[in-house]
Structure 1
Amino acid sequence: MKYLFTCFTALLFTLTAAAQAPETIPGAAMPNAIFYNRDNTPFSTYSIPTGKQSLIIFFDATCGHCQKVVAQMSKRVKELDKVNIYLVSQDEYRSIDYFTSNFGKPLLAKKNTKVVQDRDHVFIMAFHPKQYPALYLYGPDKKLKYASSNEKDVNKFFKLINP
């Protein structure tokens, strides 16, 4: 009986470790996914350039936590000059526009910000977010540096972006 319990415990720990999404492990490569620009042209994560950090923010327009995080980022927009910012949502552009104009207007004014729609709902399968909002910071080599869904971690992103 003791042997069976030990085997079960070992199996449980193995499955738990294997269940962690590789996309959320630091050092993991950025997943390939296709989103859509406003004009319905595809935008692939493959086309995100190397050589500069990239911050991907997955949000839902009606999510209060998402609104808070993007508003916090917008207040510190000058600190985000060294990073490309990608706002990704499964919402319709009408909702995306409302969200960005009310909570992320300063971000939209930056040339390094891009807003795309995940109309095929591939983000969740590719990036494995735990909840909204999901933030992913990739290094210049497109390897994951940090990921979080906690609105209290916004300062951690700024420390990693501006060491």
Structure 2
Amino acid sequence: MKLLLTCLTAVFLSLSVAAQDPGSAMPNAIFYNRDNSPFSTYNIPKGKKSLIIFFDATCEHCQKVVAQISKRTKELKNVNIYMISQDEYRSIDYFMTNFGKPLLQQKNVKVVQDRDHVFIMAFHPKQYPAIYLYGQDKNLVFTSSNQNDVPKFFKLINP
């Protein structure tokens, strides 16, 4: 009985974890560059807004969102963009080439792999795509998984 109660408590606590609240600090997490070198969110600089997009290469909503965002790259020149996926680089490359090609040509865009599957535990996304906008202080400004919220991000990036 004690084991059952412990298990139920653990399940309840894990289900009660919510997505980040606006104003919360960017979590520290380590992802990997193409050359397998680590990239930490700790290294994301302050002083510039950061847009983090967590995607799955086979997700239709992710494809639509990234295609929408990539059509407006000129409006994103003052924000650092981090594209993060748990997929293999082969799938990430296909996704970016087909849905985010204009983003690949931007110096302020970094594509990294979450091969250790730490994003979900650190950022608590509700579904794909998960988009997070952090302010210059690395505190959360807005987050959404709704493809209809893309214009809201642009309003917050370019007030």
SS at match of 1:141: coil
Deviation at 1:24, TM superposition (A): 1.6
SS at match of 2:45: coil
Tell me which amino acid in the other structure corresponds to 2:110.
K
SS at match of 1:101: helix
SS at match of 2:74: helix
SS at match of 2:153: helix
User: What is the percent sequence identity of the aligned residues?
Assistant: 77
Matched, 1:25 2:21: yes
> C-alpha separation between the residues in 2 aligned to 1:19 and 1:72?
32
The runs of 5 or more residues in structure 2 that have no matched partner are: 1-11
Query: 1:1-163, aligned counterparts within 5 Å?
Result: 19=16, 21=18, 24-163=20-159
Contact 2:126 2:145 in 1 (8 A): yes
**TM-score (normalised: structure 1):** 0.87
> C-alpha separation between the residues in 2 aligned to 1:101 and 1:85?
16
Deviation at 1:113, TM superposition (A): 0.1
The runs of 5 or more residues in structure 1 that have no matched partner are: 1-14
**TM-score (normalised: structure 2):** 0.90
> How many residues matched?
147
